[in-house]
Amino acid sequence: MDKYSITVNTFDKLAQKYQDKYMDMALYDDTFDLFCQRLNDKDSPSLFEIGCGPGNISRLLLNLCPQLTIHGTDLAPNMVELAKLNNPGATFDVMDCREIHKVDSKYDAIMCGFCLPYISKDDARKLIADASGLLRDEGIIYISTMEGDYEASKFDVSSSGDRVFTHFHRAEHLTRCLHESGFKVIDVNRKTTSKPDGTDNTDLFIIAQL
């Protein structure tokens, strides 16, 4: 079983625990506010979400932008079922983020909240290129990930033995990928939190527009 399958199986197994831990996203409110300021300038905006998890970001976005139409996707079926329960007015499907080029609709915005930690550098580049093809003119994208040296990417193992492969990405690489795909970077933000072992974790947030 490859690292992607192992990671997806873990998220599928622990979907309810993930929801219990991460539904409150107050730490990132300012990044979502900035993103939604752009959305609120549009008439009945539509959004495609990559790696929707239990629908925590979707729920927050709908509170900030009630006129938003959301189509969310995730590769873990149990995450998708939770997202449907948490956001009955939105649409959610099981989909691999490496397959979004097959989507034939166009959107005003794309949300990619903490999906990149679970895909490689090359797949992140492809995802950004594919995302540009799903957006209408002046469409916007929100990307959040864990920042660090790519070479430090590794399996994280829980006390119960469940494994997730975490990839670290750098802002320089992601902004270069965005520019290559026709995006103009609007905002780059970082937030540092402390992990239980006392080390720091840096989360990276990028908003860009075609």
Position 196 confidence tier, pLDDT thresholds 50, 70, 90: confident
The DSSP output letter for 73 is E
Residue-averaged pLDDT of the chain: 96
Segment holding 57, helix H or strand E: helix 56-64
Lookup: tokens for 171:
């802002």
CB-side exposure of 67: number of CA atoms within 13 Å? 10
Asked whether 75 and 10 are in contact (CB, 8 A), the reply is: no
Task: Check residue 41 and give its pLDDT.
Answer: 84
Lookup: tokens for 108:
């005003």
Ordered by where they begin, the domains of the chain are: 3-209 (3.40.50.150)
Task: Check residue 159 and give its pLDDT.
Answer: 87
What lies within 8 Å, CB to CB, of 42 at 6+ separation is 108
What confidence tens digit (pLDDT) does each residue in 31-43 have? 999 999 999 888 8
For range 104-128, the mean pLDDT: 98
What confidence tens digit (pLDDT) does each residue in 163-177 have? 999 999 999 999 999
- Could you give the CA distance from residue 186 to residue 53 in angstroms, rounded to a whole number? 25
For range 35-64, the mean pLDDT: 95
- 3-state DSSP assignment of residue 78: helix
Task: Check residue 194 and give its pLDDT.
Answer: 82
- Could you give the CA distance from residue 171 to residue 205 in angstroms, rounded to a whole number? 9
For range 175-187, the mean pLDDT: 99
The DSSP annotation for 139-186 comes to: EEEEEEEEES-GGG-EEEE-TT--EEEE--B-HHHHHHHHHHTT-EEE
Percentage with pLDDT > 90 across the chain: 89
Residue 1 has pLDDT above 90, yes or no: no
Task: Check residue 131 and give its pLDDT.
Answer: 99
Residue type, 36: C
